[in-house]
Amino acid sequence: YYRQLLTVSPDAVVVGAGGRFRFANDEAVRQLGAERVEQVIGKSYEEFLSQQQFGVLANQIQALRAEPDRNQSFELVVRGFDGTERLFQINARPFMYEEEMFVVAVARDITQRNEAEKRLQFLASMLEHSADPLAAIDPAGKVLFVNDAARRLFKIDDQKLDSMSANDFFPERDLDKVGQLVARVLRGEDVLIEAQLRRVQFDDEIPVQLHCFPIRAAGSDEVIAIAGIARDLTESQRTQGMLRERVEFQELVNGISTLLVNAGSDEVDDVAVSEIRHNRLHEGDHRAVPGAQLDVVELPGEVARRTSCQVRDRTDTLECRTVADAAGECLAAARRREIETAEAEQDRC
C-alpha cells in the first residue's frame, strides 16, 4: 500500500541506504531522465552529483544520523542521465529497517522558480539603483514600491511608506486629476504628462515629467499595478528661463548697437528712450541681468570704445541690473563722455 502511495506521488520520492538508491517512484525516474526504474535502483548517489554537491549531501546525511527524529531540508543540484543539472528542494528523514538506516527523501524541482527569483532580484536591483525616480501603485492607489531615487527626490520617509497612496504625491488642488490618471492607465493607456508633485517631508512642489504605464499579469490583459517614472524639470526650466533672458537681452543690445551706428552724440538719449520703449522695458520690469553681460556690447568706432569701457569699469559694483537700467547705463555713459570731451575742447580754446 505504501509503495503504491509513493509511486503515484506528484513529487519525486526516493529511498536510499548505504549510499545507493533502493527505491524511486515514477516522478523521480522521469526527473533523472531515465526510461525505466531499473536504471536508477542500485545506482550510487555520487553518479548524479558533482564532487561539491556530493559533499553537501554527505553533510546532510551525517546530520540525519545525529538527529534521527528531525527532518532535514536543503537544496541540491542533481545531474540527470542526459547531463542536465537541475536544482531540487530536498526534504529528508531517516528510519531504521532491519538494523540499517534508510533515508526517504521527497524532491521538488525548483530550477525554474530559482531562475525566476534571480531575474526578479536582478530587476528589483536595477529598478532600485536606477537614476530615474520610479514608483508603483496598485489599482486602488496604494504605494507598492518606490526606488531610492524617488525616495530622495520626493523626500519620502521609509517608515511612512506602507501607509502612502498616490494622493500623497499630488497637491490638494490636483487630487481630482489623480483619479482620472489612474482610470486611463487601468484602461491600458500609457500617459505622459507634466505636473507639479509634492515633496512629502518638505510639503513643497517640484515640476516633473511623469510617465505612467500599466503592469499586467503574466499571460493576461488584467492590469494589476501602475508604474510611474518621474523626471525632475526644475533645472531644465531654470536653464530655459536663463536662455530666454539672455536672448532677450542680446536682442536689446544688438538693437541699441544698430541704432547707435547712425546716431550722433546729441541723439544718444533719444536712441535710448526709443529703444527701451520699443522693447517694452520700463521701471516696472524686474528681469535681472548681470551687469557683466554688458561687456558683450559691440559698438562701432570711438563711441563703442568709450561705452564698453565705462560699463566694464562699473561692473564690479553692479551685481545685478534690470535690462532697461543696464541699457540706459550703457547709453548714458556714451553721452557723458561726449559732453566731457566737448567741454574739454572748449576749455582749451
* pLDDT band (50, 70, 90) for residue 101: very high
* pLDDT band (50, 70, 90) for residue 256: low
Looking at per-residue pLDDT, the higher value among 219 and 68 belongs to: 68
Share of the chain above pLDDT 70, in %: 71
CB 19 within 8 Å of CB 46: yes
Region 1-26 average pLDDT: 84
258 has pLDDT over 90? no
Task: Give the chain's length.
Answer: 349
* pLDDT band (50, 70, 90) for residue 297: very low
Q: Which three cell numbers stand for residue 138?
A: 496598485
Looking at per-residue pLDDT, the higher value among 9 and 172 belongs to: 172
> What backbone phi and psi angles, to 5 degrees, belong to 18?
65, 25
Residue 1: predicted pLDDT:
54
CB 233 within 8 Å of CB 207: yes
Residue 319: predicted pLDDT:
36
Closest CA to 323 of 271, 265, 282: 282
Four-residue CA torsion sign, 44, 49, 50, 52:
negative
HSE-CB at 258 with a 13 A cutoff on CA atoms is 8
Max intra-chain CA distance, the chain: 139
Locus of grid cell 500623497: 168
Q: Side chain identity at 301, as an amino acid letter?
A: G
Three-class DSSP labels, 201-269 = CCCEEEEEEEEEEEEECCCCCCEEEEEEEEEECHHHHHHHHHHHHHHHHHHHHHHHHHHHCCCCHHHHH
91 has pLDDT over 90? yes
Closest CA to 327 of 344, 345, 289: 289
Residue 2: predicted pLDDT:
62
| Rounded Cα gap, residues 164 and 137, in angstroms | 10
Residue 276: predicted pLDDT:
39
Closest CA to 325 of 289, 292, 280, 349: 289
Taking CA atoms, 49 is separated from 38, 43, 83, 259, 287, in Å, by 19, 12, 10, 92, 78
Mean pLDDT of the chain: 76
Give the torsion through C-alpha atoms of 249, 250, 255, 260, to 10 deg: 100
Share of the chain above pLDDT 90, in %: 31
Locus of grid cell 530622495: 152
Residue 22: predicted pLDDT:
93
Residues 216-240: pLDDT tens digits? 877 778 888 899 999 999 888 888 8
CB 33 within 8 Å of CB 84: yes
Task: Identify the DSSP state of 161.
Answer: G
Residues 169-212: pLDDT tens digits? 898 888 888 889 999 999 999 999 999 998 877 778 999 999 99
301 has pLDDT over 70? no
